[in-house]
Amino acid sequence: MRLDRFLAEMNQGSRSELKEWIRRGRVLVNGQPETRPERKILTETDEVFLDGRRIFYTDLEYYMLHKPAGVLSAAEDKKRSTVLDLIEEKKRKDLFPVGRLDLNTEGLLLITNDGGLAHRLLSPKSHVDKVYYALCAGQLPEDAKDRLQKGLVLPDGLACLPAKLVRLTKEDRGGFGDLIEWETIKDRVRMQRKEPGELLFSEEEQMEEVLLTIREGKFHQVKRMMEAVGCPVLYLKRLSMGTLRLDASLKPGEYRPLDTEELELLRTW
């Protein structure tokens, strides 16, 4: 691999910047100054230093992000902040979010540059469960669970794969009590409902708390499905994806690298 490409892939600067820095003698290869951007290096054995700091080659990266509301699930955007803006320690420029969460949806988002894993996790053929918590307005109809389990056809004609619905109570949090604390949810809803003309959160409202498990990820799918059964979503959070469960210690906007066990389990898909 070319020296300038190696440094660019490790997110050390643009190719033009790096070529200039190399020519100025800011880079050492195996302890010796190297001024040729085209110098071929072996990523596994050659030691590369930029301004006295060793640059290690990383092929694939995996991060668990607790996506906050108001941040785009995109690699880049000219107007809004994106989920990649939150990953401060990334070494590579080719990272991307695996799937998308709506702008105001919170929760688990995997950030990686492993295209093969991303494809397997997102393909409906892989049957990867994605579990969402939804706080919904109104009362859940008696037939909602059966309709979702059989596979909804949305008003626009979109056919959805069968989904699993579980109604929650304040006492029974469906095994996700550490991720869906009621007081925290109330605060989130208040924060998201401050647009002109919107009512602030009131516990007198008729509401339902549910877990919805789906195996696909179409545009606004969870919100559209719950709207179709008569319970519009007030707040939405993704809790898990396949074997990967959101770390309860991560606050919105925080992230961490996947540990070895999490990564090995994900790679079984």
- Residues with catalytic annotation? 102
Q: Tokens representing 107? A: 């929760």
User: Residue 153 in contact with residue 227, Cβ under 8 Å?
Assistant: no
3-state helix, strand, coil in the chain (%, to 5): 25, 25, 50
Burial class (CB in 10 A: 0-12, 13-18, 19+), 116: exposed
Query: Whose structure tokens read 């994900």?
Result: 266
Q: Tokens representing 160? A: 């959805």
Q: Tokens representing 221? A: 């799918």
User: Residue 4 in contact with residue 37, Cβ under 8 Å?
Assistant: yes
**Residues ≥6 apart with Cβ < 8 Å to 121:** 98, 99, 110, 128, 241, 242, 266, 269
Burial class (CB in 10 A: 0-12, 13-18, 19+), 75: middle
Alpha-carbon distance of 15 to 23, in angstroms, equals 12
Secondary structure (3-state) at 74: coil
Secondary structure (3-state) at 66: strand
